Structure 1
Amino acid sequence: MKLVVFGLTISSSWGNGHATTYRALLRAFAERGHEIVFYEWDAPWYRGNRDLPHPGFARLKLYAEWDDVAASAVAEAREADAVIVGSYVKDGPRVIDALAGAGVDPLFFYDIDTPVTVAALRRGGTEYLRPDQVPLFTRYLSFTGGPFLQDVIERELGAREARPLYCSVDVDRYRPTEIDPYLVCDLAYMGTYAPDRQPLIDRFLVEPARRMPDRKFYVAGPQYPDDLEWPENVLHNPHLPPALHPQFYSSARWQLNATRADMVAAGWSPSVRLFEAAACGAAMISDRWPGIDHFFTPGSEILLPETTEEVIHIIRDTHEDDRRAIGLAARARIVAEHTAAHRAEELEALVGTVVASA
């Protein structure tokens, strides 16, 4: 089938998790024999940090303004077997109105930021989706699963049908690698700065670093305030290219997962960074949220401390054999259930059943 996607970005992984998500999913989808066209607004901040300008598995169409491509994009969408509009698309409401107004069907929404989207819709809308547009989609595909889909997306917001399409990982690219001495540390975290995530990072990484000055910690990610003071034993790197992510995950003794507040409240919202780290055999420490035990078994595949003291105890006292066993068990879970190939098969079924009935 031919699939047309309007997404935030596939060409640049700078400061976002959308690119790696689309790359893994759509590469695997193309390997199943499908044609893909990806429309992306040519954002200035991605233009200067474009690490995949020519994806071999999809035709990338960059545009400066929606008006420049609206007519041709809608025409191509009408000829496609299915169309997906993702969250955080520039001029999203205009894109959706144009596609729906032209009778594009089936039309899917792929929400990579579901709890954030819902919180905004309850306040009147987002820059990429209006509340009245939710019922326009044939299916609402979501990074978040569990009861949130039926209770909120369908009953409250009026979606025709909401289904989970969780993030995934390309296990051929994300796998245990040789350790990079520069990246070796006791606890590492990768993620863009977010005010609602920072308290957990302070409690689970910054404070342990202060109390263990003989240990090394590493934070990778952009947009942290200039006035944020890291302890001397915390190294902060504003951007780590995707090619180095497997080494980053493989080199730290422990990896920290910190979840946005809206996603914790909704539950059932694993992040792509969590899956990527697990695929690299990383031993993971995470905050606790409803549904996390659906993806990993606490205690054997992931550890869920509640306090700074528990984190310190994990770092200081966990035997190396036990730590390695946790990482290997997490990778085995990813390989069995959450690869890009698994998710591409699910997408094919979610889209294919609608296409077949149409």
Structure 2
Amino acid sequence: MTGSPIRLVVLGLSLSSSWGNGHATTYRALLRAFAARGHSILFLERDVPWYAAHRDLPEPDFSELALYRDLTDLARFRERIAAADAVIVGSYVPEGVAVGERVRAWTRNLCAFYDIDTPVTLAKLAHGDHAYLSPDLIRAYDLYLSFTGGPTLDLIERRYGSPAARPLYCSVDPDAYPVLVRDKRWDLTYLGTYSADRQPTLERLLIEPARRAPHLRFAVAGPQYPHDIDWPENVERIDHVAPAGHPDFYSASRYTLNVTRADMIRAGYSPSVRLFEAASCGTPILTDRWDGLETVLVPGVEILPADSADDVLDVLDGRSEADRLRVAGAARARVLAEHSAAHRAGELEAHLREAQGRPGTRVAAPGIAGTMAHATASLRGMVS
């Protein structure tokens, strides 16, 4: 770490519950590694019944976690927000625009937005949907951290006036996602909450191969799938796998499938956390195609793109075990080198320090000020 410890407040969708969302696992990996760098964290989460019923991390050991009932109740934390060196508001926070406006009014220090759903956010903005972010807030936030890199960052700055848009992809904690020796229960799996725009790809790359290959075994794990989906008999349905069970799930899979949301395919440069988790567990990945994939994992070497059921079955039936292990090993090495939570936490720290040193950013707090030249140089090295 360079500079003094940072007092960080994060207002995010969820830290306590991974049920039906990918935000919790992202925050857990990132913030645990951020705390390991010597920083302190307060995570503020809206208390909603669907997460209250499925809390699998009610007392994190790396961050203080507090729940608030509504906007009025959020005011209990006004002094903590005002005293923080940096405040981050996340995407999909309930009443996120009102939350962001209050945070901007309460703090004179660095205020950032962390978009874990960037292409979806931009699609909403294009249709005038300001559920959790507005054009005015984009200009007001000192820093826009984005799950999507590439040309989208220029668009956020040019069209919406962000002072600085920077990539902050998801990541994985290798200690939480180790390689486990397990019998292979399935030939191909998919782990993800139901999404209407992902379902056609899931049909093409998993359900259709399952229909055509009754000798193979498949699994789809995740909540909210409609009851009228015609699942082949050789596809096992699992309603939910908590993060603690992900390594076992991946390790019991010969291959796993990555399916990307339509908005993220259009934007490109939007890797899913499932890519990094599966790779860390040593499970090779088949994926749909999107621009920027090669900047994350090398197609054909570290990850296997598939366009059709034929492509999937060629891999499942045609690849040798030695080839399977080579792909898995190459992906794991790349993820540990470039996409670990520790690496991403270093990027976050550098982004915060670089933003605080930018002219026009609000008054710097002691915890972030100083050593800006070193932090900026570190940032350039991380994202080059």
Q: TM-score, normalised by structure 2?
A: 0.90
Equivalent in the alignment of 2:158:
155
Aligned length: 354
1:101 Cα deviation after fit: 2.3
2:174 to 168, 171, 182: 171
Check whether the contact 1:82–1:355 (CA below 8 A) recurs between aligned residues: no
Residue segments in structure 2 that go unaligned for 5+ positions in a row: 1-5, 359-363, 365-384
Secondary structure of the 1:240 match is coil
1:180 Cα deviation after fit: 5.2
Are residues 1:10 and 2:11 paired?
Answer: no
Q: Distance in 2 between matches of 1:249 and 1:104?
A: 45
Equivalent in the alignment of 2:211:
210
Query: Could you report, residue by residue, the CA deviation over 1:218-262 in whole angstroms, capped at 9, with x for unpaired residues?
Result: 000011001112001000111012111001111111100000000
Check whether the contact 2:83–2:107 (CA below 8 A) recurs between aligned residues: no
Instruction: Report the residue type matching 2:315 in the other structure.
Output: I
Q: Distance in 2 between matches of 1:276 and 1:75?
A: 37
Are residues 1:68 and 2:73 paired?
Answer: yes
Instruction: Report the residue type matching 1:159 in the other structure.
Output: S
Moved beyond 4 Å, runs of 4+: none
Note the 1:85-124 alignment, pairs <5 A: 85-124=89-128
Instruction: Report the residue type matching 1:46 in the other structure.
Output: Y
Instruction: Report the residue type matching 2:91 in the other structure.
Output: S
Residue segments in structure 1 that go unaligned for 5+ positions in a row: none
Q: Distance in 2 between matches of 1:116 and 1:201?
A: 19
Q: TM-score, normalised by structure 1?
A: 0.97
Percent identical among aligned pairs is 54
Secondary structure of the 2:61 match is coil
Over the residues paired in the alignment, what is the CA RMSD in angstroms? 1.1
With over 3 angstroms needed to count, the CA separation of the structure-2 counterparts of 1:180 and 1:7, relative to structure 1, is farther
Equivalent in the alignment of 1:43:
48
Instruction: Report the residue type matching 1:28 in the other structure.
Output: A
Secondary structure of the 1:294 match is helix
Instruction: Report the residue type matching 2:26 in the other structure.
Output: T
Equivalent in the alignment of 1:126:
130
Q: Distance in 1 between matches of 2:188 and 2:182?
A: 14
Query: Could you report, residue by residue, the CA deviation over 1:145-195 in whole angstroms, capped at 9, with x for unpaired residues?
Result: 011110x211112211100001000001112112156xx101000001111
Instruction: Report the residue type matching 1:318 in the other structure.
Output: R
Check whether the contact 1:124–1:131 (CA below 8 A) recurs between aligned residues: no
Query: Could you report, residue by residue, the CA deviation over 1:269-314 in whole angstroms, capped at 9, with x for unpaired residues?
Result: 0011111011111111000100000010111100112211111111
Query: Could you report, residue by residue, the CA deviation over 1:45-100 in whole angstroms, capped at 9, with x for unpaired residues?
Result: 11111000000111101111121122x32321111100000001111111111111
Are residues 1:146 and 2:147 paired?
Answer: no
Equivalent in the alignment of 1:20:
25
Q: Distance in 2 between matches of 1:204 and 1:325?
A: 22
Instruction: Report the residue type matching 2:180 in the other structure.
Output: T
Q: Distance in 2 between matches of 1:130 and 1:215?
A: 48
With over 3 angstroms needed to count, the CA separation of the structure-2 counterparts of 1:276 and 1:60, relative to structure 1, is same
With over 3 angstroms needed to count, the CA separation of the structure-2 counterparts of 1:102 and 1:241, relative to structure 1, is closer
1:103 Cα deviation after fit: 4.3
Equivalent in the alignment of 2:369:
none
Q: Distance in 2 between matches of 1:5 and 1:116?
A: 21
Instruction: Report the residue type matching 2:96 in the other structure.
Output: G
1:354 Cα deviation after fit: 3.1
Equivalent in the alignment of 2:286:
285
Instruction: Report the residue type matching 2:169 in the other structure.
Output: Y
Q: Distance in 2 between matches of 1:248 and 1:147?
A: 35
1:105 Cα deviation after fit: 2.4
Instruction: Report the residue type matching 1:76 in the other structure.
Output: R
Note the 1:181-200 alignment, pairs <5 A: 184-200=185-201
1:353 Cα deviation after fit: 2.6
Secondary structure of the 1:84 match is strand
